[in-house]
Structure 1
Amino acid sequence: MTATTRTTAEAAEWARVSPSTVAAWCRAGVVAATKVGGRWVIEYSSLLRRIVIGDRARFRREAKVRGHRHWNSDHPYCQEFDQAVADGAPVAEVAKYAEHDTLNRGQEHSLARLASEWRAHLGLATDRQIDYILKILAWRERHGESDGFMHGPTDRAGIARLTKQAASTYITSLTGSY
């Protein structure tokens, strides 16, 4: 061996991977290597290039913050902002920490929370019921079927005004499981 080549075992030790991984790199052409006498002889500079690529990928993976939306993951105050909004703090209180996109996101969170609380208080149909009714209506329209025994609203706004019980009855009517 020269100073510019490595065996599979040496390369694996350098790259902090298993020898079988290095052999797979050799077979796939990821590193420059030739097989001599049944053993891989790996060119040193291509191995170093592969190690640098692996280190960069490993560093990126460990540094990734999980649980955040992709478009806002670089914001320095993202976790504190999300926690404050989730705890119910007014958006105006935490706006001083926020950029424009984050502020809009907080307002969306607040509006969604208020809407769901209001629907729960009034006993209105849930988002899941509304989506299911719209899906059934779209299917019936595509297949030329009429409404069930109960005629009701056919748009999201009209369905959202139904109570949970009325939405449940409407679903039963549309599915024909009565």
Structure 2
Amino acid sequence: MNTTTAATQANVTVATIRTWCRRGVITATKQAGRWTIDPASLARRIEIGARMNRPTTRYTVTTTTDIYGRPTWSVARTDGTKAGFGGDHRINGLTFRKQEDAETAAAITEALPDAYWVRQHEVRYRSALTENYWVWRLGGGDDNDPQDVRCDVRLTSTRDTIVQHMVKAAQAHAAGTADRIRAKAERDVTAAAEAAVREAREAQIAEARQQKGPLATPRQVDYILSLLLSRRESGEGGGFFTGPTDRAGIETLSKREASSYITSLKGDY
């Protein structure tokens, strides 16, 4: 990544990016007078800067009760914003039977980039010989990103370990988002162009079939191509019937035309 792209992503000037590079604030190498910046390192620096502009604590744990009057603990925003539709989707449904689980969920959510969220997930096995277990599972990211983020950490891990792994996975995933979206757009353009070519070819074949009747069989097409190759290699020519020399053209011949073409190429006349 060059300094211009990095400056755009970080919403700072190019001069600031160069200063970060010189001071080792972000990981970068200099070749031929130009800085090449590590995207993951820049993403971490952007996240650090974003945290500095956030309230000290955005998420807290509140005590509630379920419909049976049993105590539960939920993750809530300190600014009063509601979770779910119209609010912070990342904490929708983060209600737990154990206070320590809610506190861990709040700590993870606090540390994650805004596009990412976490939930508890049970890993199940089909075999009765293997015991199921629960993990914290990372999700989210840019909706246009073709690659899902995946990071599972067992519930039995320490809170610091869980937060560290989740944040690292989210940052690594976020760092490659732009490249993946761009690559997918390029693949989509290529696929659309190929589809257009196929449709045009199918229309051409259909028109030839309507005008000529049954077209050359795949076996005839392959045989003609092999005969043409042999004649090119041997330098032979002549014949009373001429025709196309590429597969696309040969495929539009009628079966009778293909048969005559084969006879001409073989010299059986």
Q: Do they fold alike, i.e. is TM over 0.5?
A: no
Higher RCO (Cα < 8 Å, 6 or more apart): 1
TM norm structure 2: 0.24
TM norm structure 1: 0.34
